[in-house]
Amino acid sequence: MPELPREDPEPTEITPSAGSERQYPEREFTVKARTQTQLVLRRFLQHRLAVVSVFVLLAVILLAFVGGPLWKYSYTDITPDNSVPPSGNHPFGTDNLGYDEFARVLRGTQRSLEIAFSVAVLATAIGTVWGAVAGYYRGWLDSLMMRIADLFLTIPILAAGALLSHHFQTAGWWALALVIAGLAWPAVARIVRGQTLSLREKEYVEAARSMGAKDGRIIFRHILPNVIGQIIVVVTIQIAFAILLESSLSYLGFGVQPPDTSLGALISNAQSALQGGLWWLFYFPGIFIILISLSVNFIGDGLRDAFDPSQQRVRA
């Protein structure tokens, strides 16, 4: 976030001159100047659901990455209890093989989060650079780059993802993340390009150019920092999208493979268990997916409102 020049420094103590009893008010007619970051943060904090979601998401992340290794059972441990409902010993019950469901859900959450965050970072990075370059240079390069992006959008991601991840199944979870990111970036590129097209005409970009700034510098130092709001919102959308897509692929059998597990794989295994009455195997991984993607969506909504408050009030 570019720091706007502050009109006013931090409130300084006004020390009354010796002998004077007069107290100067801190400010008489002005309001406290705020930086862009402070403005955004203030607006974000007003979105109560988003703030709660930040804590929920952090709690889930901590539980998965710190709680997982600390829990008394590992996700590979086979306990002597088969198909027992939730109890103190097994908070989420066990499955028919004796795996502790709590350990497996934590492990699955870990995998799902790793995949989702990798996808979000990768897809956003590729899409941002792609869109910024296309929008900045315009002309034939723009047409070429955006037509390529459009081509990707004609392919259902689920289908292409299933095909490719089936092919890379043995390579591990990062291959799955690469595949999803490789298909998801065009959506980001479109948004960034649209923003870049209008920002490149701004006076400060012209000023930078007239001072001899190179294209790369203009794109990365002058244009992209001003698209950061949209980019952050896109990252949250990508995370939620990746969580759902990963679980969908795993459900169809094309995602994370045993002995590793993910939330989608757990639900896939639990489908028949639900008919047999082992409801805990089905509900707990599902609830974790919903917790993650719901909180990410709320955070994204809060950020969107914070960066672009224009949608908040109706004038009429």
Partner 1 sequence: MLAFALRRLLVSIPVFILSTFLVFLLVTWGADPLAQLEAKNPPPSQAVINQLADQLYINHSIPARYWHWFSQLFFHGNWGPSVQSGTDIGQLLSTSLTLTARLVIVATILAVILAIIAGVVSATRQYSKTDYTITLIGFLFLSLPVFWFAILLKQAVVNMNNSLNWYWLSTYGANTPGLTGWSAFSDAIGHLVLPTIVLAMSSYASWSRFQRASMLDVLGSDYMRLARAKGLSRRQVMIRHGLRTALIPLTTQVALDTAAILGGAVLTESVFGWQGMGTMLVNGINAGDFNVILAWLTVSAIIVIVFNLIADLLYGVLDPRIRHA
Positions 1 through 40 that interact with partner 1 (CB under 8 A)? none
Please give the Cα distance from 280 to 254 (Å, whole number): 24
Please give the C-alpha separations between residue 245 and each of 32, 102, 158, in angstroms, as whole numbers. Answer: 45, 23, 7
* Contact call for residue 271 and partner 1 (CB under 8 A): yes
Tell me which stretch binds partner 1 (CB under 8 A): 25-33, 82-90, 154-162, 198-206. 154-162
* Contact call for residue 160 and partner 1 (CB under 8 A): yes
Per the CB < 8 A criterion, the answer to whether 302 and 49 are in contact is yes
* Contact call for residue 144 and partner 1 (CB under 8 A): no
* Contact call for residue 282 and partner 1 (CB under 8 A): yes
* Contact call for residue 298 and partner 1 (CB under 8 A): yes
* Contact call for residue 252 and partner 1 (CB under 8 A): yes
* Contact call for residue 286 and partner 1 (CB under 8 A): yes
Tell me which stretch binds partner 1 (CB under 8 A): 3-11, 14-22, 204-212, 289-297. 289-297
Number of neighbours of residue 209 by Cβ within 10 angstroms? 15
Please give the C-alpha separations between residue 206 and each of 132, 135, 201, 219, in angstroms, as whole numbers. Answer: 16, 15, 7, 12
Among 125, 126, 166, 213, binds partner 1 (CB under 8 A): 166
Nearer to partner 1, 47 or 222 (CB): 47
Nearer to partner 1, 44 or 136 (CB): 44
* Contact call for residue 150 and partner 1 (CB under 8 A): yes
* Contact call for residue 189 and partner 1 (CB under 8 A): no
* Contact call for residue 54 and partner 1 (CB under 8 A): no
Nearer to partner 1, 106 or 263 (CB): 263
Interface residues with partner 1 (CB under 8 A) are 147, 150-160, 162-164, 166-167, 240, 244, 247-248, 251-254, 264, 267, 271, 274-275, 282, 286, 289-290, 293-294, 296-298, 301, 311, 313-316
